[in-house]
Structure 1
Amino acid sequence: MEELAAAAGIPVRTLRFYRERKLIPPPRREGRIAWYNHHHLARLRTIAALLERGHTLTGIADLADTFDSGRDVGELLSLGEVTEETPVRLTPEQLADYFEGEVTPENLASAMALGYLAIDGDEVVHVSRRLLDVSAALVREGIPLAEVMAAGLAVREHADVLAQIFIDLVTTHDADPQRLRPLAKSVVEAELSMALDRHLRKT
């Protein structure tokens, strides 16, 4: 357990908590020895990626159960998970179909470092169906995947700043946090649309 926690970069107590919540499968046991393998490490990295994208542990537990049982992740939409992003599970061949000729070891490493992809057993988990589809569309427009991911990182940094602006606004004025997401999205989408118009007129 200590070796697995160190490889995943998490405290042992966190790993124990994940085990108790059944977020990772039990280890293989030989007498008093518990053996973990690369599948357990991949699951922990998937959990880290999902947490970074805004999923709750309860939602991740539901997703893990759905993936393991072979059910459609769309079934989870009725559970009220806070995040709007739905992870998608792919075979390596399906991922290659999305990004024909762009699924290189370098791009895979970058996507995993960004938290977009995680490996779970023989499959790949992308943390957001929407980001997967948009990224594939940009690549089809002729933009290299490496540049798409670099742009995604820049957008993430700005998105974090924008999110904090709205969270501070709601906190300062004791507003209803449940109303934050749609209102913040509307403001950002409107401002981005107008900014694109301004910049496109200059070209």
Structure 2
Amino acid sequence: MVEYRIDDLARTAGTTVRNVRVYQDRDLLPPPRKEGRTAIYSDAHLTRLKLIISMLERGYAFAQIKEMIGAWESGRSLGEVLGLEEEVASRSWAQDAPRAVSAAELEANFGDQLTANVTKRTLDLGLIERRGRGFVAPLPELYEAAVELVALGIPLEEVLDIAESMQAKVDHLGAELAGLISDHVLPRASTADEATPFYGEVIDRLRPLVFKALNSAAIRSADHYIPSIIGARMAELMSGRREREASSAGTD
């Protein structure tokens, strides 16, 4: 399970360190584990933090959120308190665990294309994240795809353009799917005790379906467009060769 310092947790959740501390002070967010003077947070904290942010965005007041969380936590140990969060967080959708990426590796892969502005964009898009003094690729497959595209000769800024566009389209599809699940699936659990195992099962069943659907759609699109552009380019090259051969024959 991924561990976070408070600034990493805030950045990943899309909030501020100040807000994280406010939620802790109001007993909405469980205390972190301590390693010396360093506070260490888990994926369960991240899930709880996103839940708090979502409830605030829906108009719930701190007191209402605390009351609902308190009802959930009543009579349970800390491990049980995080039950649903742990259940959900343990079922990561990522196929590979995040991996460290050194500054030297970034330099080797992207060279002078990795300007200050491009680095900021790369961070904003989530291809890499700052962790302490180094970097982490939260989704190694996505990062490695960017590396391969640059190695093929596509400028890094244009790779980021397509990554940004792709993420926006996938986010739209994800929101539509989430709406369907919220309307038709989640209400089937009517109590917190039912929700913990049921929502874990929902994620387990959805994960392969989502991967298969997106992979199939991408394959169908690639099968249509990639051979088409390669065929067009081959036709240009062959036409050019015939013209050169005809020109050469005419001068003999």
Scaled by the length of structure 1, what TM-score is found?
Answer: 0.61
Using the alignment, how far apart are the partners of 2:106 and 2:119 within structure 1?
A: 10
Distance 2:119 2:221 in 1: 32
Which moves more between the two structures, 188-197 or 81-90?
A: 81-90
Instruction: Give secondary structure in 2 for the equivalent of 1:160.
Output: helix
Equivalent residue for 2:208? Answer: 182
Instruction: Give the match for residue 147 of structure 1.
Output: 158
Partner of 1:13: 22
Does the C-alpha gap of structure 1 residues 13 and 196 become closer, same or farther in structure 2, counting only changes over 3 Å? same
What's the secondary structure of 1:101's corresponding residue?
A: helix
Does residue 90 (structure 1) correspond to residue 101 (structure 2)? The answer is yes
Say if 1:156 and 1:112 are closer, same or farther in 2 by CA, change over 3 A: same
The structure having more radius of gyration, on CA atoms, is 2
Shift of 1:199: 2.7
Question: Take 1:132 and 1:14, find their aligned partners in 2: how far apart are those partners?
Answer: 33
CA shift in 2, pair 1:183/1:19, >3 Å? closer
Question: C-alpha displacement at 1:18, in angstroms?
Answer: 7.3
| 1:192 paired to 2:179 | no
- CA offset at residue 122 of structure 1? 2.6
Counterpart contact for 1:170–1:180, Cα < 8 Å: no
Amino acid at match of 2:92: V
Distance in 1 (alpha carbons) for counterparts of 2:120 and 2:46: 26
- Closer, same or farther in 2 for the Cα pair 1:132/1:24, shift >3 Å? farther
Cα distance in 2 for residues equivalent to 1:23 and 1:193: 46
Q: Structure 2, unaligned stretches of length 5 or more?
A: 1-6, 48-88, 187-200, 230-252
Deviates more, 1:152-161 or 1:91-100: 91-100
Change in Cα spacing, 1:126 to 1:25, as seen in structure 2 (3 Å) is: farther
Identity of aligned residues (%): 18
After TM superposition, the structure 1 = structure 2 runs for residues 99-178 of structure 1, keeping only pairs within 5 Å, are 99-174=110-185, 177=202, 178=204
State the one-letter code of the partner of 2:218.
L
Relative to its length, the structure with more helix (as a share) is 2
> Aligned with 1:99: secondary structure?
helix
TM-score by length of 2: 0.51
